[in-house]
Structure 1
Amino acid sequence: MAAGVYSPLAALRRPAMGLVRLGMVLGAVGALSQLLPFIFIARLGELLLAGSPPDRAALAGLGALVVAGLFIGWAANGAALWLTHIADHRIQADVRRALVAKLGRVPLGWYADNTTGAVRKAVQGDLEDLHHMVAHHYVDLTAAIALPLGGIAYLVWLDWRLALLAVASFPIYALAYGWMMRGFAAKMAQLDASFAQVNAAIVEFVHGIVVVKGFGRAGEAHSAYRAAVDGFSDRYAGWVRPLLRLEALTSMALSVPVILLVSLSGGAWLLANGQIAPMDLMAEIMVAVILPQSLLTLNQGLMAERKAAAAASRIDTLLLTPELPGAVHPKLPRDATICFENVSFQYPDGAAALSGINLYCRPGTVTALVGPSGAGKSTLAKLAARFHDATGGVVRIGGVDVRDIAGEVLYRQVGFVLQEVGLLHGSIADNIRLGRPDASMAAVMAAARAAQIHDRIQQLPQGYDSIIGAGAQLSGGEAQRLSIARALLADTPILILDEATAHADPASEARIQDALSAAARGRTVLVIAHRLSSIAGADQIVVMRDGTIAECGQHGALLARGGLYAALWQAEQGEPAC
């Protein structure tokens, strides 16, 4: 790595590299000790073939050296892996603590832009790649370098021509491997892009399967998937097929029969000319046949290092995610008012979502946000729960800037029920208790009754002890009512409802609306609605368009005004526009 160039992998492993280096030294000792049995066996052969009765003491000494070499190798390798596993444990613990701390400090809105699969890969799959790198790779790599170097050095000491015999077939494979790896990075980038197209085609097909089947266009929908798969297959086969043929041919250069043929042919000529002893050739053969395994280990190590570097880069990107600033001088909100003062918001890519928003929500009232898709309704509501910070203006809860309210205080004031329900792998009761872990079972059941989900829970084999995803399979509407029960139990004075019935069937919607009515009672409610009939009785209706407030008032007054709200209402009711 060039001086001054930042490497995420080097940065992550740096705290434990002292242990890793010590493990590498022991790994080298263990690898070199594996040569001792071969050397001493060759010497044993010399004694046994000497013609005169062998010296028993010398035989016993060499036998003891063989056993000692095996024991030293075993002990050194074991100690090396013990040290590198300790190093890995320290790195894993530090990185996991850093990831957990980071995930607890990023804005809640960040999770909307990053899938759970991506986060899970960083905190599980990527850490597994780092584990192999730290705990195994460095010791294996050191052994794969030390063993052939030590073996070749021993053969050079015996006779430099034996060392050349041992590696005579290697240049063939090295040249072929170098040719095969030409443009590897570019080819992998092309394959990754092709595979991304396959994934996109799968997602598009699965998401649209109902519409596709309903309109009898299944064949056309399949064609996009087939085209993506065929494209990936053609690129992959076009690259790999000739490489496999070459690999099959050139790998023969490292096969044991070829190595034996080269060693015995060259060794026989040297023996015939009296330039080496028979047991020297035996030593060369034993060293030569273990060298290809070292090359294989080196190749696997390079692939492991690439994987670990990519994993470290993803982890580093996550750790560098901007955090939501904490309150420097925390203040307590005095009531449940929500106030937006000249609020604007831009996404990190610079796209404007809100501009010049001024809105006041009195305690105990219901404010409905309506408008066309993309008008900024969800963004505005989420600013009140501090999913993001406003890029302009101030959002106040109870007269206090939300940036001056400690997180644990803010979320005792503000609860929310979103379109996408987040349920944890745990019991039904624990999922409802998420906002109040110390709540009694009676309180949990009361919240479930108010949310119209108690009877359904009782039908489950283990009732409230049923595990989500294992003993409890809930429909979308049932999961939504469970999240409403969670919000009711949390008992926050402010409640944000983001199109909670958007994906519900008519029967579920009616029950969810009953549950929402119970949840809204006595609270300051900010509700985002896609059906205007469900919010006609709201205390104030805010009509949004292009990130601004187009109209604000009650249902009757907005209809009488004949503006955007009236047009939306007429469209929903199926009436002709005036």
Structure 2
Amino acid sequence: MNQKQIIVLKKLLQYIKPYKIHLIFISISALLSVVFTLLTPILIGNAIDYVIGPGNVDFPNIFKILTYLAASIAISAIFQWFMSYESSKLTSLTVSDLRSSAFGKFNQVPLKFIDTNSHGNLINSIVNDIDQISDGLLQGFSQLFSGVITIIGTLLFMLFIQYKIAFVVVLLTPLSFFVASFISKHTYHQMKEQAEIRGELSGYIEEIIGNEKTIKAFGYEKRAINTFSTINQRLYDCGWRAQFYSSLTNPGTRFVNGVVYAAVGIYGAISAVNGTLSVGQLSSFLSYANQYTKPFNEISGVFTEFQSALASASRIFSIIESENEISDENLLTEVNCEGEIDINHISFSYVPEVPLIEDFNLHVATGQRVAIVGPTGCGKTTFINLLMRFYDITSGQIKIDGIDIRDMKRKTLREQFGMVLQESWLFQGSIFENIAYGKQDATLEEVVEAAKSAHAHSFIKRLPNGYDTIITEDGNISQGQKQLLCIARIMLTKPPILILDEATSNIDTRTEVKIQKAFLELMRGRTSFIVAHRLSTIKESDVIIVMDKGHIIEQGNHVELLEKGGFYSNLYNSQFAVT
């Protein structure tokens, strides 16, 4: 094992440490199972010595040995079962903790981590890589302990019977280590590469399946298949090499077995002819020769699985050890939010070399409705991300009611906002659970009231089970209906500050008019930010800020901006120009 593998193994052992009692049980069970297994050849050898020569069959002693033999086999089997049980339990507990740590990490890393990594690759790590670790651990612990103890125990038993033949076996042992080392060294690199390509393939599949309509609309099917085939071919080539090296395990170790068995057989036969070794002892030695080399076969096979497990563990730890969001442990947990917002000289960029928002200033009074408009890529959504602290500003200051948002816990800050995005997000569960997502102690009456305010109640009542209808992953309701449920979710929580990012983009015009009235009611007395491309939806806003290239280039109400005849006026007239 190289240095990197050792480091990964140490990290893995930290997850095993809380369950070391199971490790102790595995060790004890392996020891007792092997001891009673190794008694069998001696008992059989003694029985053979009692039947050598005409008229020399000692039936009483043979029956006595057979009784011991049956008891030894039974006890060995019991401890073998207990070792497998404990190994399975240890693996399950360890893998469960590992998967929980990896999944929990997704809630601790900055949003940038999720945005910059393939979602399919992350899913593959949580599911397949941890399954690979599970397989490696399960096979490893049940065979590694028994294998090592078998090797040591067999040598001790052989030394007890005839030290000279045992010395011959010891001399041939390095050959087994050489074969195992050669195979494991080459297998690890191939297994690691295979895990990485498998993650890349999972990410691509997730991307394609999630955007199948777009692919079909643009006739991208053949190119998608070609890209998939390229990645799949790389996986095949890497998998073939990995399987080739791992397939060397069996013939390589069998060759070593044959050499050891032949050496013991020849030397033992000579010793038996010379009278220094009985026929029964020779039989025992030949059995031990088989048992001595068998663990090397198993350990070599385990090593192949273990290499794959370490490669997968390396990918998992790259997630677990990712940098967390900046801690907010000692920050404010409660604020009396009225909704006044001051933004002073803030700057931000996703990539340092590409500036996005520079020296941005804005004052929003309590209860104001602020609309944000501008061309695609001007920084509208980024501004919302900064308000919610999904990303942290590079410089400057954002204050809510005079308190810097970096002085509040993120949870406390986000509780002050209600957010409806263009992309509706619902989980697989009942409509009631989805609306009550932000207020889990909500009553049915509150949920119904919120649904009525969002004009969702009528379509919900027409569903087979009303508010108990389960929303499936593919969606058994329309995109517009999903959006209404997201709006109802905000209607229920009634936060002091609202963010509506193209909130009515998937809703028909007639329903949108009703929703706008509901929003007006909801926004009364609340600070609101409205991001919209359809300018007809923001004419009633108190302030409209026009953004371009991360800067505010115009600011005022609808009438004032039209009178200026600037960017907003041109943008508005382009939407309502008569052709």
Q: Do the two structures share a fold, i.e. TM-score over 0.5?
A: yes
- Residues 218/130 of structure 1: CA separation in 2 closer, same or farther (3 Å cut): closer
Q: Give the partner amino acid of 1:490.
A: T
8 Å CA contact retained: 2:125, 2:316: yes
Superposed counterparts of 1:474-489, under 5 Å: 474-489=477-492
Q: Shift in Å at residue 168 of structure 1?
A: 10
Q: Give the partner amino acid of 2:284.
A: A
- Residues 142/528 of structure 1: CA separation in 2 closer, same or farther (3 Å cut): same
Give the unaligned 5+ runs of structure 1: none
8 Å CA contact retained: 1:330, 1:404: no
Residue 49 of structure 2 is matched in structure 1 by 46
8 Å CA contact retained: 1:487, 1:519: no
Q: Give the partner amino acid of 2:518.
A: A
Q: Deviations over 1:155-188 (max 9, x none)?
A: 3443467558879998887766655556545545
Q: Does 1:452 align with 2:455?
A: yes
Q: Shift in Å at residue 432 of structure 1?
A: 1.1
* Distance in structure 2 (CA, Å) of the matches to 1:235 and 1:126: 17
Q: Deviations over 1:447-468 (max 9, x none)?
A: 2233233333334333222233
Q: Shift in Å at residue 335 of structure 1?
A: 0.7
SS at match of 2:344: strand
Q: Deviations over 1:331-371 (max 9, x none)?
A: 52341233322223344877654322222233333222222
SS at match of 2:541: coil
Q: Deviations over 1:553-574 (max 9, x none)?
A: 2334334434443454455557
Residue 283 of structure 1 is matched in structure 2 by 284
* Distance in structure 2 (CA, Å) of the matches to 1:408 and 1:182: 48
Q: Give the partner amino acid of 1:73.
A: S
- After TM superposition, the score normalised by the length of structure 2 is 0.80
Superposed counterparts of 1:241-256, under 5 Å: 250=252, 253=255
8 Å CA contact retained: 2:418, 2:495: yes
* Distance in structure 2 (CA, Å) of the matches to 1:549 and 1:236: 54
Q: Does 1:362 align with 2:365?
A: yes
Residue 490 of structure 1 is matched in structure 2 by 493
8 Å CA contact retained: 2:191, 2:242: no
Q: Give the partner amino acid of 2:282.
A: L
Over the matched positions of the two proteins, sequence identity in percent amounts to: 24
Superposed counterparts of 1:267-278, under 5 Å: 276-278=277-279
Q: Paired residue for 1:410, among 413, 428, 434? A: 413
- Residues 412/218 of structure 1: CA separation in 2 closer, same or farther (3 Å cut): closer
Superposed counterparts of 1:90-109, under 5 Å: 105-106=108-109
Q: Does 1:373 align with 2:390?
A: no
- Residues 52/434 of structure 1: CA separation in 2 closer, same or farther (3 Å cut): same
Q: Which moved more, 1:468-477 or 1:293-302?
A: 468-477
Q: Give the partner amino acid of 1:444.
A: V
Q: Does 1:384 align with 2:387?
A: yes
8 Å CA contact retained: 1:26, 1:80: yes
8 Å CA contact retained: 2:372, 2:546: yes
* Distance in structure 1 (CA, Å) of the matches to 2:44 and 2:422: 73
SS at match of 2:339: coil
Residue 295 of structure 2 is matched in structure 1 by 294
Q: Give the partner amino acid of 1:311.
A: A
Superposed counterparts of 1:117-136, under 5 Å: none
Q: Give the partner amino acid of 1:379.
A: T
Q: Give the partner amino acid of 1:484.
A: I
* Distance in structure 2 (CA, Å) of the matches to 1:178 and 1:92: 27
- Residues 186/289 of structure 1: CA separation in 2 closer, same or farther (3 Å cut): closer
* Distance in structure 2 (CA, Å) of the matches to 1:292 and 1:451: 73
- Residues 531/233 of structure 1: CA separation in 2 closer, same or farther (3 Å cut): farther
Superposed counterparts of 1:426-437, under 5 Å: 426-437=429-440
* Distance in structure 1 (CA, Å) of the matches to 2:50 and 2:382: 86
Q: Give the partner amino acid of 2:331.
A: V
Q: Paired residue for 2:147, among 125, 134, 144? A: 144
Q: Shift in Å at residue 428 of structure 1?
A: 1.7
Q: Give the partner amino acid of 1:494.
A: I
Give the unaligned 5+ runs of structure 2: none
- After TM superposition, the score normalised by the length of structure 1 is 0.80
Q: Deviations over 1:39-66 (max 9, x none)?
A: 222222322446435262x445534433
Q: Paired residue for 2:534, among 531, 534, 540? A: 531
SS at match of 1:328: coil
* Distance in structure 1 (CA, Å) of the matches to 2:78 and 2:403: 65
SS at match of 2:529: strand
Residue 342 of structure 2 is matched in structure 1 by 339
SS at match of 2:537: helix
Aligned residues: 570
Q: Paired residue for 2:427, among 418, 424, 429? A: 424
Residue 518 of structure 2 is matched in structure 1 by 518
